């Protein structure tokens, strides 16, 4: 597992709390207008204007209409008070990269979904590996030099047994759920569609059987008439099983899958 250190000048403030007191860093309830940008891959990104729920020099909480996977990097821009900044003290907008540490649904209404998101600030610049692959997931590790933390690439199969359920990466279930997948063109129109079933499915993604000849990075819309849901997805992987049938590994972008409807 490779390691990417956060720039020391961005994480070691003169008035920052000592490492042993990191768990007691005070957060402030500041309802500031905030723009959050998420880069799905090198071709697609989305952004949303929201308001901070709470903030400190080292992290923030806010509500989004779309879920964001734990471990993903996103950029936050807000008119932050100078005392909570680590750089760009005179800029009207403070832009900083944050690592998603939690994403919790706060409504069960599929027509008005929203998610409470908590991020840890990791610096002014994203790591070089992120620029090459924005879908890469990261984690935090203790710094050796007394700083707050360092950013490391997430393990492929992390041990999350000691984490509460809402902080764990999404478990996949081997459930054959009937779906319609629609291939979207560059204009967002449906170019082709087929009815299929899942090989496995989780809140944030699924593996589906397909006859489509699509490449990694293609966008699909996944629809379930039974569950009355429609989700924009991106193809993250593609493989052929021993049965000769192609499987697409999908990441759900704008909604979580309603697992409560199939469990």
Domain of 217, CATH number, reads 2.40.10.220
On whether residue 173 sits in a domain, the answer given is no
Taking 70 as the pLDDT cut, the residues of the chain under it are 1-25, 107-112, 142-148, 155-170, 187, 261-263
Domain that holds residue 251: 178-261
CB-neighbour burial class of residue 68 (10 A; exposed 0-12, middle 13-18, buried 19+)? buried
Same domain, 129 and 190: no
Give the model's pLDDT for residue 146.
54
Same domain, 233 and 143: no
Same domain, 133 and 192: no
Give the model's pLDDT for residue 32.
94
Give the model's pLDDT for residue 105.
81
On whether residue 163 sits in a domain, the answer given is no
This prediction's pTM: 0.69
Same domain, 70 and 182: no
Give the model's pLDDT for residue 236.
87
Secondary structure class of 132 (helix, strand, coil): helix
Give the model's pLDDT for residue 217.
84
87, 9 Cβ separation under 8 angstroms: yes
Secondary structure class of 263 (helix, strand, coil): coil
CB-neighbour burial class of residue 232 (10 A; exposed 0-12, middle 13-18, buried 19+)? buried
- Where b means 16+ CB within 10 Å and e means fewer, 204-216 reads bbbbbbbebebee
Same domain, 183 and 153: no
Give the model's pLDDT for residue 121.
94
Same domain, 149 and 193: no
**Cα-Cα-Cα-Cα dihedral of 251, 71, 172, 206, to 10°?**
0
Give the model's pLDDT for residue 109.
56
For residue 197, what are the contacts with CB-CB under 8 A and spacing of at least 6? Answer: 176, 177, 178, 179, 208, 209
Give the model's pLDDT for residue 103.
87
Choose the final residue of a domain: 124, 157, 190: 157
234, 253 Cβ separation under 8 angstroms: yes
Same domain, 122 and 53: yes
């Amino acid at each position: 597992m490779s390691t990417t250190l956060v720039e020391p000048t961005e994480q070691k403030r003169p008035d920052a709390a000592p490492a042993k007191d990191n768990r007691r860093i005070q957060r402030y309830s500041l309802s500031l207008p905030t723009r959050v940008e998420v880069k799905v891959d090198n071709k697609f990104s989305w952004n949303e204007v929201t308001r901070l729920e709470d903030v400190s020099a080292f992290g923030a909480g806010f509500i989004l209409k779309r879920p964001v996977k734990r471990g993903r990097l996103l950029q936050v821009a807000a008119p932050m008070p100078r005392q909570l900044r680590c750089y760009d003290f005179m800029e009207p907008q403070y832009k900083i990269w944050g690592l998603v540490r939690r994403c919790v649904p706060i409504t069960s209404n599929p027509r008005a979904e929203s998610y409470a998101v908590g991020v840890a600030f990791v610096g002014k610049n994203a790591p070089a590996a992120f620029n090459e692959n924005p879908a890469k997931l990261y984690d935090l590790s203790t710094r050796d030099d007394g700083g707050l933390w360092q950013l490391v690439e997430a393990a492929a199969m992390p041990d999350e047994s000691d984490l509460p359920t809402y902080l764990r990466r999404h478990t996949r279930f081997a459930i054959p759920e009937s779906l319609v997948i629609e291939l979207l063109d560059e204009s967002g129109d449906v170019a082709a569609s087929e009815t299929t079933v899942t090989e496995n499915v989780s809140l944030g993604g699924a593996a589906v059987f397909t006859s489509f000849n699509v490449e990694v990075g293609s966008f699909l819309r996944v629809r379930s008439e039974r569950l009355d849901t429609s989700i924009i997805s991106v193809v993250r992987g593609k493989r052929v099983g021993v049965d000769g049938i192609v499987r697409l590994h999908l990441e759900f972008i704008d909604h979580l899958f309603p697992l409560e409807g199939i469990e």
